[in-house]
Every structure is written in C-alpha cells, then in structure tokens.
Amino acid sequence: MRLSSLMISLVAFGVAAVGALLAARSLVTIVEERSVIAVQEALADANHGWASVIGDGLQIVMEGEAPSEAVRFRAMTVAGSMVDASRVIDNMSVTATAAIAPPNFAIEILRNDSGISLIGLIPASVDRDALVARVEALARGLPVADLLEVADYPEPELWAAAQDYSLDALQRLPRSKISVASGRVAVTAISDSAEHKARLEAELSRSIPEDVRVDLSISAPRPVITPYTTRFILDDDGPRFDACVADTPQSLDRIERAAAQLGPVSAAGCIEGLGAPSRRWGDAVVMGIDAVGKLGGGTITFSDTDVVLVAALQTPPAIFDEVVGELSNALPDVFALDATLPNPPNSAEEGPATFTATLSPEGQVQLRGRVADALMNQTLENFAHAQFGADVVTMGTRIVEDLPMGWSVRMLAAVDALSELSNGAVVVTPDIITVRGNTGSTGANGRISRLLIERLGEQAEFEIDVTYVEALDPIAGLPTPEECVDKILGLTSERKIIFDPGSATLTAESGALVDDIAEVLRRCADLKLEIAGYTDSQGRDSMNLDLSQQRANSVLAALRDRRVPVGSFEAIGYGEADPIADNGTEEGREANRRIEFRLITPEPIEEVTTGLEALEEDLAAEIEAEAEEATAEPEADGE
C-alpha cells in the first residue's frame, strides 16, 4: 500500500510540473506576440515602416536599414517606450552617406547689338578675369555683364576645350546664344544670309575640338532689300532680269512665269526678301513684264514704288500710248509710272567723255578717263582705296573741263559696281554705264542694278553683262546634300558598317569607314540625314526592331564623337523590314544586316488658289470676253 501511495504522489507531482511548464510557455508566447505587435504599431505610427520587428522569447529584435543614424536612434526610442529598453536588441544598419557630388558647371553666353552677358557657374581653377577680358575684347566697346559664379570643385574634363571653342564661335557670331558645359557646346545664332550661314557652319564645323560635342543651329533670315528693285529687259538677246526680288514665294513664282512666257530667261534669278513697299508687289511686276512683252521690247524698272518704263527704239507711238495707258490704270494706287518712248539718235559726237574702271583677276585696279577737277580726282582715288586697298589701285585719269552733268556721281557709282565683280570692267559714257565681267556671287547682278538705280535714279541707262563663275564662288565648293549622300553611298558600296554579333557595338574595322563618312559630312552644311538600321529576319520582330534602333543610334553617336554636327540627323531602326536579299541564305542575311544613309526631304506643299485669286481670274476672263466682243462688232457692221 505504501508503494502505491508513493507512486500516486510522484505521478501527481509530474503532472503538475508538466502543466506548470506548459502554462509558463503559453504565457511567454502571449507576452512575446503582444510585445511584437505593440512595437510594430508604434513604429508604423512614427513613420518607421522601414524597420522590422522579430520576437525572440521576451526579447525584441529590431532589423532594417535606417536612412540615417538619427532615424535609427528614434526607432530604438519608440521601441523602448513600448517594452523594457533592456529587452530591445538593435540589429539595424544605416545607409551609407554618398559623397557630395560636384555641381554642374555651365555658362550661358548671350550676345546681341546691346552687348554680351555671361551667366553661369565655373570652376575656381578657371581664370575668371582672363575669361572676362577675352569677352570684353570681342565686345569691341559694348558692355559685358559678368554674372558668373565660382565653385571650388575640380575642373571637369574637356571644360577648357569647350570654353575655348565657345569663345571662337562668339567671335564669329554677333547675334547668338552659346551654352557651354563640360565637353559640350550648343550654338544658336542668326546669320545675315544663306551664304553667310553656310560659310559659318563650315568654319565652325572645321574648328570643333576633339571629343567635344557641338550642336549648331544657325538660321538665315530673309534679306532686307532696299531699295526694293526689279529691272526687266526684253531685247534682241531675249528676256532677262538685271535685278529681281519678290516678297513671297507665290509672287516670286508668278514673276518668273511671266518672264518665261516671253522666252528663256537669262541673267539674275529672282530672290525672296523683305522690304516690299506694297502687298501687291508681285501683281505690279507681272503687269510691268506683260507690258514690255506687248511693246515687243524695252526696259521696266521697279524701285520701291517708282516705275520707269523705257520702250525699245522704233516702237510705234500708238502701241506705246495704248500699253502705257493700260499699265498706268492697272497698277496699284501706290505705284507711280514714268514711261518714255526714246527718239532715234541723230549722230554720235566724236570723242565722247569716257571713264573706265577695270579689275584684273589678280586683283589689280586701274582707273582711267576724264575727271572734272583735282578735288574729284582725289575723292575718286580715296574711294577706290577704301573699296580695294591702296596698294592695288593705279590712277590713269586726267582733268578735263565741261564734262556732262552728274559725271562725278557716275564715276563713283562705277567704282562701287566694280567692287561687286571678281574681275571685269565698268565703262561710263554720258548715255550709259556698261558693267561686264565675272563674279563668284549669284546675287551680284541684282546688287549692281540696285546700287546704280540708287545712285543715279530710276531713269539711268545701264547694261549689265556679268557672268557667274562657280570656281570663283567660295560657297559653291561646298557639296550639295545630294552630292554628300552620293559620296557616302560610294563609300558604303565597297565597305560595310559591321557590329559585334547580337549587339550594337561597332567593330574595330568599322571605325575607318565611319571616319571616312564623318570627313564627308563635316563639309556638308545644314544636311538633314536619316540613318536607317536594318536586321535580318532571325529572331523576334520586336527584338530585331530594338536592335536596329540601337545600331542606328550607335552610328549617330560615333559620328557625333567625330565632330560631325548631327543636330539635323535622325536615327531610325526598321528591324527586318525592306530586305534587299533572301533571308533564307547566310549571304542574304548578311546583306540585310545593314545601315543606310538617305536625305530627309520635306513633303511637297500643294498650291492652293485663294478665293480672291479665283475672283481675279473670273474678272479677267470677263474683261477679255467683253474686249473680244467690242473688237468683233465693227467687223460685223462692215459686212
């Protein structure tokens, strides 16, 4: 019995011990879970969601990456406020603090007729005083606003090269905005003319430093022409313009078509420019050309609103009166017509007064003929020195009394006209000024005509026979966009731009070809070019499209690295489109993996006839029909 009682007691104690142990463990688990939840809620309320909480018995383990040491400490404080701080274990880390990055150094240079402004941030190593002094020298007395700031950080690579190039560009561009950064320069400017624009782009492209990226954007506004002059001649040599301007492309086209109806037009072509005295300039010029055609010959000159019509010799007076009357009534109100029917000359006097100015191909100038007095002779010589230089002018003039009225003005105008030629001669007589020679400028005829009219008046008689010689034109040496693309196609027909397999990385052997293409493009100003990338048909369409785009971008970047102005270029990937060979063979797939270069041409603009133009055409048709009826009625009476 004693043994049984003892066993029962032991079993009872064992059961009690196990129950106490289970109860203790359950209590610990409950305390642990409630502590973890409490700490998590407190951290969330304090915006410390980055921290995680793990229960380990009665201990609370904090983990996570704190943005800073202060934030980590605040998280520990929040956890210690919910449970005993001794129970909180810190296993958190702190985000490493990045080094302070240097600022972006950049300069904005603004230049106009009022002066130059420098705005931006430059490295402390740059000699600011020397930089400003260089800009002041370029300003030539105009104010320079120095708004630069300095930061003491290392000078970026290629900063000096970009800065020097920007100052070189500033010297050439009186109206410009130049943005300078490390290894990059962006130039936005306005040139005086299309020829000036092409010359500036060629000069600036040739001087780009190695590894510096330059974006050129130079615009050429329409020229302002004064006096606004058109001079049309119809004689035995056919129709021609000595000068021709128009205010709109539509007017220019109508003027050229009106002249072409009288025969093949030679000499100066029409140009578009600002300064027209009337919105109906094109209408007036077309009317004048038609009037010369009806007369069968003559000269009509428009100088702003003054119109001078000189009929050809032997023009019947009746026809002259009829045509002049029609033209006088048809011209817009702002234009004033002065018409002359010349009489045949009686007889030529022997030994007429003559002055001749010649310019040799070597640049030597000789003036010979008659002048009124010593003062005029000295004035003429000084004017020639100013135009050509004192070391190339030879005087062969002699003083003679009783010269025709206005002789001195005609001589100075002749020297001025000679300065527009590359070589040639200008002969002045009492009746006419004759200009003959060669020029390297396509607009020389028009400029000579305008300056003679401006100096001598609209009724001045002059003849211009100036030949444009492409070899004398400094701009003509630049290839046309079509010639540039043809040269590139010639290079790529023999060699091929190759990439590493499955990538957009150019192979080493392709570098020489890209060098040759860049050499061609650097001489091509204002070229709009598309760089098209193609692949073979292997692989997914989307993958091929992305790869072709990446390869076209790689070629564009390679050209930019070689100092080619690529601002007007476009890189486009076409994937496996437009195969040029069979993708079923290895040779065909190799041919289809290619880069093509082609011009970007603007879409043609359809000509739209306005309601006003249609009304004018209907009225003209009605007037013509009434005129035919009026002409036909007397014939019926006669029958």
- The pLDDT mean for the chain works out to 83
**Residue 634's pLDDT is what?**
46
**Residue 639's pLDDT is what?**
31
Q: How many residues does the chain have?
A: 639
**Residue 1's pLDDT is what?**
44
Residue ranges of the chain with pLDDT lower than 70? 1-4, 9, 12, 15-31, 57-58, 97-101, 266-268, 344-351, 473-478, 525, 602-639
Counting Cβ atoms within 10 Å, is residue 30 exposed (0-12), middle (13-18) or buried (19+)?
A: exposed
Q: Enumerate long-range contacts of 193-198, CB under 8 Å, 24 or more apart.
A: 193/220, 193/223, 194/220, 195/441, 195/475, 196/220, 197/525, 197/526, 198/475, 198/478, 198/525, 198/526
Counting Cβ atoms within 10 Å, is residue 464 exposed (0-12), middle (13-18) or buried (19+)?
A: buried
In 254-352, beta strands by DSSP E: 266-267, 271-272, 298-303, 306-311, 336-340
> For domain 481-599, which CATH number applies: 3.40.50.150, 3.30.420.40, 3.10.129.10, 3.30.1330.60?
3.30.1330.60
The reply to whether 355-447+454-472 shares the fold of 236-340 is: yes
**Residue 18's pLDDT is what?**
65
**Residue 415's pLDDT is what?**
92
Question: Helix 159-172 to helix 128-139 angle, to the nearest 10 degrees?
Answer: 10
**Residue 29's pLDDT is what?**
64
Measuring CA to CA, how many Å separate 234 from each of 229, 238, 265, 286, 288? 17, 6, 10, 14, 12
Q: How far apart are CA 122 and CA 119, in angstroms?
A: 10
2-94 carries CATH number 3.30.1340.30: yes
| Fold designation for 236-340 | hypothetical protein tt1634 (3.40.1520)
Domain-by-domain residue ranges, the chain? 2-94, 106-219, 236-340, 355-447+454-472, 481-599
Tokens of 252: 């220019």
Listed in sequence order, the residues at least 6 apart from 612 whose beta carbon sits closer than 8 Å to its beta carbon are: none
The CATH architecture of the domain made up of 106-219 is: 3-Layer(aba) Sandwich (3.40)
Measuring CA to CA, how many Å separate 548 from each of 493, 518, 569? 20, 21, 16
Quick: pLDDT tens for 404-448.
Answer: 888 989 999 999 999 989 899 999 998 899 999 998 887 888 888
* Cis, bond preceding 227 (omega within 30 deg of 0): yes
What class does CATH assign to 355-447+454-472? Answer: alpha beta
Largest distance between two CA atoms of the chain: 177
What number of CA atoms fall less than 13 Å from residue 257's CA on the CB side? 8
Assign residue 433 a region: left if phi > 0, alpha if psi is -120 to 50, beta otherwise?
beta
**Residue 349's pLDDT is what?**
45
Measuring CA to CA, how many Å separate 335 from each of 104, 278, 285, 375? 60, 9, 11, 39
**Residue 614's pLDDT is what?**
54
Quick: pLDDT tens for 443-461.
Answer: 888 888 888 888 888 888 8
Strands 144-151, 115-123: pairing is parallel
Q: How far apart are CA 208 and CA 566, in angstroms?
A: 13
Residue 287 and residue 330 in contact, taking contact as beta carbons nearer than 8 Å:
yes
Angle at 527 between CA 522 and CA 532, to 5 degrees: 95
Tokens of 352: 């007429």
**Residue 638's pLDDT is what?**
36
